Structure 1
Amino acid sequence: MGADVGHNRDKNFTVHKVKKRIEQVEASIARYLAALERADRQDDDVMEAKTERITEKIERLRRQMRAFKAMERQVEAAADKQVSLTDPDARSMATSGKGTGTVGYNVQFAVDAEHHLIVAHEVSNAGSVRAQLTPMGRKAREAIACPEVTVLADKGYYNRDEVLACKGTGIVPLIPKTHAFDNTGHGRFTTADFAYDVEHDRYTCPAGKHLTKGKVRSDRRQATYIYRNLTSCPTCPLKPRCTPERLKRVKRMAGEEVLEEMQAGLEDMPDAMAIRRQTVEHTFATLKAWMGTTPFLMKRLKNAKTEMALSVLAYNLKRMIKIFGIKPLISAIIS
Structure 2
Amino acid sequence: MSHHIKGQGRNQITLFPEALDDFVTKENHVRVVDAFVDELDLHALGFNRVIANNTGRPGYHPAALLKLYIYGYLNRIQSSRRLEKGSHRNVELMWLLERLQPDFKTIADFRKDNGKAITKVCRHFIELCRQMNMFTDAVVAIDGSKFKAVNSKHNNYTPNKVKDHIRRMETHIENYLSRLETADGNDKVDAVQTSAAEKIAWMKQRVAELKELAVQVEAHPDKQLSTVDPDARLLKTQGMNRQVCYNVQSSVDTKHHLIVTHEVTNTNDRGKLADLTRLTQQALAQKNITVLADKGYYSGRDIKATQDMGASALVPKGDTSGAKKKGIFNRSLFKYDKDRDLYVCPAGNELPHKRNVEEGGMKLKVYVDHIACRNCDIRAKCTQSKREPRKIRRWIHEGEMEEMLTRLKNAPDTVLIRKQTVEHPFGTIKMWMGATHFLTKQLKNVSTEMSLHVLAYNLKRMMSIVGSESLIEAIRA
1:250 CA displacement: 1.8
Q: Secondary structure at the match of 1:269?
A: coil
Does the CA-based 8 Å contact 2:321-2:330 persist in structure 1?
A: no
Give 1:13's aligned amino acid. Answer: Y
Q: Does residue 37 in structure 1 map to residue 181 in structure 2?
A: yes
1:115 CA displacement: 0.7
Give 2:264's aligned amino acid. Answer: V
- Cα distance in 2 for partners of 1:169, 1:272 equals 21
- Cα distance in 2 for partners of 1:136, 1:88 equals 25
Q: Secondary structure at the match of 1:3?
A: strand
1:79 CA displacement: 4.8
Give 1:139's aligned amino acid. Answer: L
What residue in structure 1 maps to residue 101 of structure 2? Answer: none
Q: State the identity %.
A: 40
Q: Does residue 56 in structure 1 map to residue 198 in structure 2?
A: yes
Q: Secondary structure at the match of 1:179?
A: coil
Q: Does residue 19 in structure 1 map to residue 160 in structure 2?
A: no
- Cα distance in 2 for partners of 1:83, 1:290 equals 29
Instruction: Name whichever of 178-187 and 15-24 sits farther off.
Output: 178-187
Q: Does residue 221 in structure 1 map to residue 365 in structure 2?
A: no
Distance 1:283 1:78, change over 3 A: same
Does the CA-based 8 Å contact 1:94-1:127 persist in structure 2?
A: no
Give 1:153's aligned amino acid. Answer: A
Greater strand fraction, Structure 1 or Structure 2: 1
What residue in structure 2 maps to residue 194 of structure 1? Answer: 334
Instruction: Name whichever of 294-303 and 313-322 sits farther off.
Output: 294-303
Does the CA-based 8 Å contact 1:167-1:258 persist in structure 2?
A: no
- Listed as ranges, the matches of 1:177-192 within 5 Å are 177-185=317-325, 188-192=328-332
Distance 1:220 1:107, change over 3 A: closer
Unaligned runs of 5+ in 2: 1-142
- Listed as ranges, the matches of 1:223-242 within 5 Å are 223-239=363-379, 241-242=381-382
1:320 CA displacement: 1.0
Instruction: Name whichever of 61-70 and 50-59 sits farther off.
Output: 50-59
Q: Does residue 104 in structure 1 map to residue 245 in structure 2?
A: yes
Q: TM-score, normalised on structure 2?
A: 0.64
What residue in structure 2 maps to residue 281 of structure 1? Answer: 423
Instruction: Name whichever of 272-281 and 223-232 sits farther off.
Output: 223-232
- Cα distance in 1 for partners of 2:372, 2:466 equals 67
Distance 1:137 1:242, change over 3 A: same
Larger C-alpha radius of gyration, 1 or 2? 2
- Cα distance in 1 for partners of 2:459, 2:381 equals 59
Deviations 1:221-268 (A, max 9, x none): 123332123443344455454445564322223322232223222212
Distance 1:87 1:232, change over 3 A: closer
Q: Does residue 331 in structure 1 map to residue 469 in structure 2?
A: no
- Listed as ranges, the matches of 1:310-329 within 5 Å are 310-329=452-471
- Cα distance in 2 for partners of 1:146, 1:15 equals 46
Q: TM-score, normalised on structure 1?
A: 0.89
- Cα distance in 1 for partners of 2:365, 2:276 equals 31
Say which structure, 1 or 2, has more relative contact order (CA 8 Å, 6+ apart). Answer: 2
Does the CA-based 8 Å contact 2:307-2:313 persist in structure 1?
A: no
Aligned residues: 331
- Cα distance in 2 for partners of 1:136, 1:114 equals 18
Distance 1:63 1:236, change over 3 A: closer
Deviations 1:79-106 (A, max 9, x none): 54443222232222234544x3222322
Give 2:182's aligned amino acid. Answer: R
1:30 CA displacement: 2.2
What residue in structure 2 maps to residue 133 of structure 1? Answer: 273
What residue in structure 2 maps to residue 212 of structure 1? Answer: 352
Distance 1:197 1:12, change over 3 A: same
1:164 CA displacement: 2.7
1:4 CA displacement: 2.1
Does the CA-based 8 Å contact 2:159-2:214 persist in structure 1?
A: yes
1:61 CA displacement: 0.9
- Cα distance in 1 for partners of 2:462, 2:182 equals 74
Q: Does residue 119 in structure 1 map to residue 263 in structure 2?
A: no
Unaligned runs of 5+ in 1: none
What residue in structure 2 maps to residue 166 of structure 1? Answer: 306
Distance 1:296 1:96, change over 3 A: closer
Deviations 1:30-59 (A, max 9, x none): 2222332333xx312244433333222212
- Cα distance in 1 for partners of 2:322, 2:222 equals 33
- Cα distance in 2 for partners of 1:296, 1:328 equals 33
- Cα distance in 2 for partners of 1:92, 1:32 equals 34
